[in-house]
Structure 1
């Protein structure tokens, strides 16, 4: 066989393998985890209860984010304030007056030295909070470049921050200079949320109203893979603790689990009584549980392997807009339009 014939044979073999992989991705069993985990013991109940109630906001709370010390957290409310809390003592450490009341998101820097906010003013405001005695704290930097609302802010470190926007883009910023480093432009709808890969800040996910979630590598600047499967807006995304999988929550009333290594959905989480959208999700530290907040004022705790509801977490009397598991895994925070923040453990 000549060299050209060998090359042609390998090309045909590669084509067949690609077609086989595409068929498996499109028609594969999205409930594969339920099948493979049939012998694993189920969780039928959980002692998770409300341990702390953080009160002080005067408007709907739209976002919260834990600090890496698992003690402090920051919340953003349409009362026009960011509040930095001690979640254990319930004390307010700092209240920051924002230039716009229409705030939608907030984020804590990994160092704990900065917080950021964004909203309908299309600006990401970054605050240096090392001096918590300053009651009239002004933004250290205002990052202005999006043409739509800011939906999510996530720090890579004290020098760089990612933002997502209703203008269908994500932007990586240099905080010190206030300039754009890279724009990420592949979505066809509002980008609603960001998640940075644990242990590798070069990789992040974006969830969008175009019904997809995209995987990006900051070094390449391009979309590495697009994950489909939802029938409506994807509002939220969170990496699984090991970084190999991720969860999503959508207005189609389902949460899904995707495996990045095979580029496919491997489980979903819903039942007939859930008729509303999901606003926020996060995983337990072990990865066994998925927590999701809903428009029906409740949060659900799901068994990731079994795809079964473990418990309904009732306590808020309005839409639960944001939730997050503390980095040490000991607590869950939920924030709501009822103006309250609850700590569960």
Structure 2
């Protein structure tokens, strides 16, 4: 690995490469298929270079471009082969902590969240912020598009998850309870969009009914904060990663 503290990773759509980065301020892309005599480090490509830590990365709809966010307050789109900066996105007033690409059929947009308590929606072609929401009361650690692409959820250190409708241009739901006082590190939707999963810093996973706004389940098992969460592509399970050094599959 290029640095001792990796904060972001992403698979290429083809499954033939993986990107990662963190406190080294850059995004490195590694091929996953090598001849037995090839050295992995020698095949590494340093693609993105920020002026502060890399917080998130995501390939676009091909292996040829990658989107990054950084503690330098920017997001950027890069050409993987040449390492050339294709577009930069300026609009956050503090560290950008997370990003998510819209479903491919809905257009060339992505959403980002950060330490300025703002969530911005960007047009990847123009580099312009086309929508912005500022209803959280603390850092935004995670954002995830609704499966249809018409809305997105966010998770924050203010101990809430929130749902924003892009067509209505407003926040439409808050998922919280008075008993929940710890921050949300990661969010993701079920395949149908009916459930919202949130990983929390109190070692739990809360499951919310998106339409009713109620908690339908709370899952225990981790022994330290839940740092990441992702639903499987077929929707039958989800995986969580934690500071307890484990990955857990829930089904």
Question: What is the CA distance between 1:145 and its match in structure 2?
Answer: 2.4
Tell me what 1:264 maps to. Answer: 170
Matches within 5 A, 1:290-329: 290-329=196-235
Question: What is the CA distance between 1:140 and its match in structure 2?
Answer: 2.8
Question: What is the CA distance between 1:110 and its match in structure 2?
Answer: 1.3
Tell me what 2:13 maps to. Answer: 110
Tell me what 1:192 maps to. Answer: 97
TM-score (norm 2): 0.95
Instruction: Say which structure is richer in helix.
Output: 1
CA distance in 2, matches of 1:320, 1:262: 32
Tell me what 2:179 maps to. Answer: 273
CA distance in 2, matches of 1:132, 1:256: 46
Aligned residue among 11, 23, 26 for 1:123: 26
CA distance in 1, matches of 2:150, 2:242: 30
Question: What is the CA distance between 1:202 and its match in structure 2?
Answer: 1.4
Matched, 1:141 2:45: yes
The structure number with the bigger radius of gyration is 1
Tell me what 2:3 maps to. Answer: 100
Moved over 4 A (4+): 132-136
CA distance in 1, matches of 2:141, 2:94: 11
Matched, 1:172 2:77: yes
Question: What is the CA distance between 1:199 and its match in structure 2?
Answer: 2.0
Tell me what 1:238 maps to. Answer: 144
Unaligned runs of 5+ in 2: none
CA distance in 2, matches of 1:273, 1:134: 56
Tell me what 1:202 maps to. Answer: 108
Distance 1:277 1:108, change over 3 A: same
Matches within 5 A, 1:62-81: none
CA contact (8 A) 2:27 2:49 kept: no
Distance 1:331 1:146, change over 3 A: same
CA contact (8 A) 2:48 2:78 kept: no
Tell me what 1:45 maps to. Answer: none
Aligned residue among 47, 55, 70 for 1:151: 55
Matches within 5 A, 1:19-38: none
Instruction: Say which structure is richer in strand.
Output: 2
Question: What is the CA distance between 1:134 and its match in structure 2?
Answer: 7.4
CA distance in 1, matches of 2:138, 2:174: 15
Unaligned runs of 5+ in 1: 1-97
SS of match in other structure, 2:33: coil
TM-score (norm 1): 0.70
Question: What is the CA distance between 1:331 and its match in structure 2?
Answer: 1.2
Tell me what 1:87 maps to. Answer: none
Question: What is the CA distance between 1:135 and its match in structure 2?
Answer: 8.8
Question: What is the CA distance between 1:328 and its match in structure 2?
Answer: 1.2
Tell me what 1:27 maps to. Answer: none
SS of match in other structure, 1:124: strand
SS of match in other structure, 2:147: coil
CA distance in 2, matches of 1:163, 1:318: 27
Matches within 5 A, 1:210-225: 210-225=116-131
Question: What is the CA distance between 1:144 and its match in structure 2?
Answer: 4.2
Instruction: Report the RMSD for the aligned CA atoms in angstroms.
Output: 1.4
